[in-house]
Amino acid sequence: MALLELASISKHFGAIQAVNDVSLSLEAGEVTGLMGDNGAGKSTLVKMIAGNFRPSHGAMRLEGTELVMHRPVDARRHGIEIVHQDLALCDNLTAAANVFLGRELRVGVGPFRILDYASMYKRAGQIFAELKSETRPRDLVKQMSGGQRQAVAIARTMLSKAKIVLMDEPTAAISVRQVAEVLNLIRHLRDQGLAVVLISHRMPDVFSVADRVIVMRRGRKVADKKIADSSPEEVTGLITGAIERA
């Protein structure tokens, strides 16, 4: 059974058909590359999965049960986490504080509860170790490299028992070495049995880390196939429209 199933999902904003009759399924322990030109409907699709938008038509099923979400917190509660393109980090806080932002651990009784620094540092450290990332929980995010910042944003998704992680252009604005770091982070997520959706414009990233590639064009899904059965040339053709469908 698929972890998440989208059945004939559509989304329109007024007269604009952003996503048109898209069906797809995500499997646990699989990385799916989601590709397409600007305006192809990738972001809208992901935002529906993340609970930002409600589909105009169609249904979503998580582990077989119907999924209705009104707010992003609903998605988080169902184990769907999103890593935003701008990472949503506070530069003035430590890595651990960012990981726990909005979900701080506290100790004490009743209304007299104080932040539990020790536990937060410890847990954040464990997550960074799991991700094999050299990120120190006590360091300010301000002083971190692009790869470390990604690790902090991804660590957030591992606080709760996430099942699906949606990543919006994680490798768009970082150096070559850091890209390798981030791709490794994605592999670690996959190895822990999560379903990862990687939105990207970068062909080499998708072909090195994804198991499957979905191509969108003008709101429609035009391809959904194993990476092994495809090629960068074919995907490029699908994105631009040189190849109609595959």
Partner 1 sequence: MTTTLDQTIEQKQHTWLTSITSNQTFWVVIAVILACIFLSFATESFATSKNLYNITRNVTFVAIIALGMTLVIITGGIDLSVGSVLCLCSMVLAVTMNAGYSLEIGILASLGTAIIVGLFNGILIAYLGFPPFVVTLGMLSLARSLAMVASNNTVVFQFGPDHDLLLALGGGAWLFGIANPVLYMIALALLTGFVLRWTRFGRHVFAIGGNEHAATLTGVPVRPIKVAVYVISALSAGIAGIIQTGWLGAVTTNIGAGMELQVIAAAVIGGANLAGGVGTAFGALVGAALIEVIRNSLGLLGINAFWQGTFIGGAIILAVLFDRIRNLRQSQ
| Residues of this chain that bind partner 1 (CB under 8 A) | 72-73, 76, 84, 86-93, 97, 101-104, 106, 113-115, 125, 128-129, 132, 134-139, 143, 156
Mention every residue, 6+ apart, whose C-beta is less than 8 A from residue 112.
Answer: none
CB atoms within 10 A of CB 225: 15
Q: State in angstroms the smallest separation of the CB of 123 from partner 1.
A: 12
| Residue 9 vs 99, nearer CB to partner 1 | 99
Q: What's the min distance (Å) between Cβ of 112 and partner 1?
A: 10
Residue closer to partner 1 (CB basis): 20 or 94:
94
Using CA atoms, how far apart are residues 11 and 107, in angstroms rounded to an integer?
44
| Closest CB to partner 1 among residues 91, 233 | 91
The amino acid sitting at 37 is D
Q: Which is nearer to partner 1, 86 or 229 (CB)?
A: 86
Strand 31-36 with 195-199, pairing? parallel
Contact assessment for residue 132 and residue 147, using Cβ atoms and an 8 Å cutoff: no
Nearer to partner 1, 114 or 176 (CB): 114
Residue number with CB closer to partner 1 (29 or 125): 125
- The contacts of residue 53 (CB under 8 Å, 6+ apart) are 11, 44, 47
CA separation (Å) from 199 to 24, 54, 73, 149, 202?
Answer: 15, 20, 21, 18, 9
CA pair distance 135, 139, nearest whole angstrom: 8
